[in-house]
Structure 1
């Protein structure tokens, strides 16, 4: 029991203990604050259930919710509170008229502040718990009626609990006086919850540690969700904390012309950006690297923001790449993401989980446009992408991200410039020649070695991706309308065989 008391009290919330550097320091009082609906009660219940798992006595003191409401809330997550945590309820006097009601307590607003505190102390002495939740401080603040009296009462609670081995979690719904920081100065640590409502899509929730005495913690905001089974927190990714040793070998694509364009292939543990207008085949070019990874005996993870999976399966199968079969065989993980329902932190955690649990060594994010849509009111897309790409690189993962540019030919704009983040940049373009729309591919950046500075025409058909010889004798192909300046235009016409599927 001594080792258990010296260790931190885990909260039972996935990710929150990571932010708190292991959990809550035992024998201290902590504040969990947030507006109604932000998840305080759920986290508090998880904190007590985690204590019950290791044999600790737990007490939930409620001044606002009834026992039935707490039990119903727990049941909705699949938890059974009965026998795991003692619930001490301050009930309205009208319930005392019920003959079946065995409680002898009074409603908090009908009591003087000192009497309410006395009842709390008596319940504590009777149960002698190791974990305590008091819900909520707003009721005590209303009874105190003044900041001075409220502070004295909080100090009295703190000093009382300090004489025991209890770890105490005070809940505050911030409804009475949001500017009163009395509790902040008294408690050992403060966990702040926020709930945001974007113009479109589901609400976003995030948590921040405002204070933790004598303890380093992971600062800043961290996304979290409430789902069946409780709260899950997604700690903000810091790539510098993750380092894995691996050999930076050169990985071929399986297409000789593409390998030559890339200077022999791509280096393991690097990121590649595929950029071009809609319809140029960015996704299909990226999937060629998935096919190569599977051929090497590696696994891949594909995260799709923009396309319906059924359509993607159908059109890739026509090209000879059966993604659905590869998924069923457990060789690839593929999932469609709803940008309106997903926070950036949750997405980053999903990618991390696939790398850790599924052992994916190739990751495709299709596209940055969809990823940006997942954070419409946030300005941190570049920082999010920087940390995510650095993390994946340090794990020896090859990452491919696509960006759809605005426009089709001529002067095109990107919704966000991430070219400097990627180790390699592959540019896809439409161009017109002989009255036909064609596609051109070139590599404009590769940090980890040399690459061709040529432009090649390519086609996508039933045989997959096909590249021709370098185009010569033309200028302005990347602008969309090339100008013939050579002796012959034969390379342009015969660089790739005509394919009715293109």
Structure 2
């Protein structure tokens, strides 16, 4: 089936390409549902984006009022009207008394000439129930509706017909329901507008679409500064984003160590915890670190005013004011109950685009799940993270959870499964003292610490202590200080005793060394005495030998010379 794209965000996704080209689409809804805005946007986008001339037939409001009301959307209808748009005022004069059978032949004849002259491809009949209410009976209504439908098919126009509905039934005041029109057209849309717990909610449902697949479930939509945006995403809505291995600092050195170097660029980080566990403080540290890297950061708060956040974070040496003044950081405070979750998503996207943000902080994202948005908050949160990652932003979201000991396996907004990193903050209450603790539940694609660290906030900044255990128990706060002090005193006592023992041993060693030195001196003296005695003994032996030899010679009556001569002869 040929389709005419509407360029309405999300709508072309749920219809797999747009409205049926050359066929009729019925748009029904209650008051304020956005029927006229939808129809006019289809025409404006057709003329502006796809160069398809269009005609707008207004049965309820004047064309000028409709154009004035649409000025806030930035479509520049006046410029489009000069070339590709034509507005026809067709409001019936209710003061006239009609006699005979009323038909639309005259209007169709005039439109045929206009279609031919401008080569129109699209046409809108807005609030057709106004003109049908002038018909005398239901038979006449059916005849005129079928005549209009045949005329549209004959000219192969992509048509949008809008009319009122009550509880999903098409009605004309004073006549029977016109549900037969839903069977006649090729595509039927139902727009709803209601109040849930005091919050305005709009939704859209494709009731039928011949010849093609479409999203059958009801989907929410909002009317923003650029028109209608349908809250629906599919895989082809986002381009393929290259995966980055770049690490971004959390703003806390020891937390970066726990995360094996920090967060991945383009990742989604979820901080959960009960009130007072420092979720906003860690978010502020991340925002400050991003600004210091030269990135643009958007910080959206649903709980506190921006100036209060700046003041409060000064107490822990996180200074955001210079970054706000430099233009790197944009702080925006919103209130969850003032608008629907879809409207908040649209607003955050607009703010991020205006600021050129590469880092986004939403504190807390769980605020979107307050009254009036409970059922839609998970879907909005998921699409917000998908959009941020598709835009290449690193997004940090906080979520409020009830204190319950071990971290929960999911969060109220149900985004824990799609978050790339999940950090849980908790209060540890022991011995009448409350202390903050941080643990990393998961961090995809990177190693991370499995320890529960105590989180300390002081005028020097944020710090995470090393895990301290005693007797198999993790101690924090004053109990840790007291136990550390006890261990320090015990250590000093052990060191003192060890020093005394070392001194005693050194003294004994010195005494032994002195004794050894004396013995060595005596040994040397004895060896010298032994050597002298040996030499003396040798001298005595030599003298004795000489004496014996002399006596021998004397006994034989020989002189010494004769003895020597005799010895020579021998």
Superposition TM-score, scaled by structure 1 size: 0.77
Distance 1:372 1:117, change over 3 A: same
Of residues 96, 101, 119, the one that matches 2:106 is: 119
Q: Hey, what's the Cα distance between the residues in 1 that align with 2:70 and 2:453?
A: 61
Alignment correspondent of 2:426: 429
Offset, 1:134: 2.1
Stretch of structure 1 that moved more, 16-25 or 423-432: 16-25
- Which deviates more from structure 2 when the two are superposed, residues 156-165 or residues 426-435? 426-435
Q: CA 1:492 to 1:87, structure 2 compared with 1: closer, same or farther past 3 Å? A: farther
Q: 1:477 to 1:343 in 2, by over 3 A?
A: farther
Q: Deviations over 1:136-165 (max 9, x none)?
A: 332455455666654443222121122225
Q: In the alignment, is the contact (CA less than 8 A) between 2:103 and 2:144 conserved in 1? A: no
Q: Is the 1:406–1:412 contact (alpha carbons within 8 Å) kept by the matching residues of 2?
A: no
The answer as to whether partners of 2:287 and 2:297 remain within 8 angstroms in 1 is yes
Select the residue among 349, 358, 381 that pairs with 2:377: 381
- 1:44 maps to 2:28: no
Structure 1 stretch displaced more, 83-92 or 268-277: 83-92
User: Hey, what's the Cα distance between the residues in 2 that align with 1:50 and 1:224?
Assistant: 18
- Report what 2:165 is aligned to: 174
Q: Which residue of 2 aligns with 1:233?
A: 229
Q: Is the 8 A contact 1:304 1:337 kept in 2?
A: yes
Higher helix content, 1 or 2 = 2
Give SS of 1:347's match: helix
Q: In structure 1, what is the equivalent of residue 504 of structure 2?
A: none
Partner of 1:185: 183
In structure 1, distance between residues paired with 2:195 and 2:487: 53
Where structure 2 has 5 or more consecutive residues not aligned to the other structure, the ranges are 172-176, 489-570
**Greater Rg over alpha carbons, structure:** 2
What residue is the counterpart of 1:276 in the other structure? 273
Report the number of matched residues: 468
Ranked by relative contact order (alpha carbons within 8 Å, sequence separation 6 or more), the top structure is: 1
Cα distance, 1:219–1:231 mapped onto 2, change above 3 Å: farther
Bigger mean CA deviation after superposition, 284-293 or 326-335 = 326-335
Segments of structure 1 that go 5 or more residues without pairing to the other structure are: 1-5, 95-105, 494-502
CA distance in 2, matches of 1:8, 1:492: 78
CA RMSD after TM alignment = 4.1
Aligned to 1:132: 123
Map 1:471-482 → 2, pairs under 5 A: 471-473=468-470
TM (norm. structure 2) is 0.69
Q: Tell me, in whole angstroms, the C-alpha distance in 2 between the residues paired with 1:323 and 1:212.
A: 52
Give the Cα separation in 2 of the matches to 1:73 and 1:143: 27
Pick closer, same or farther for the CA change 1:220–1:127 going to 2, 3 Å.
Answer: same
For the residue of structure 2 that corresponds to 1:156, the secondary structure is: helix
Selected match of 1:156 from 120, 143, 147: 147
Question: Which runs of structure 2 are paired with 1:267-346 in the superposition (5 Å)?
Answer: 267-346=264-343
Q: Does 1:33 align with 2:20?
A: no
Distance 1:43 1:255, change over 3 A: closer
1:11-30 per-residue CA deviation (whole Å, 9 max, x = no partner) reads 57565456555544443222
Q: Aligned to 2:394, which of 391, 398, 402?
A: 398
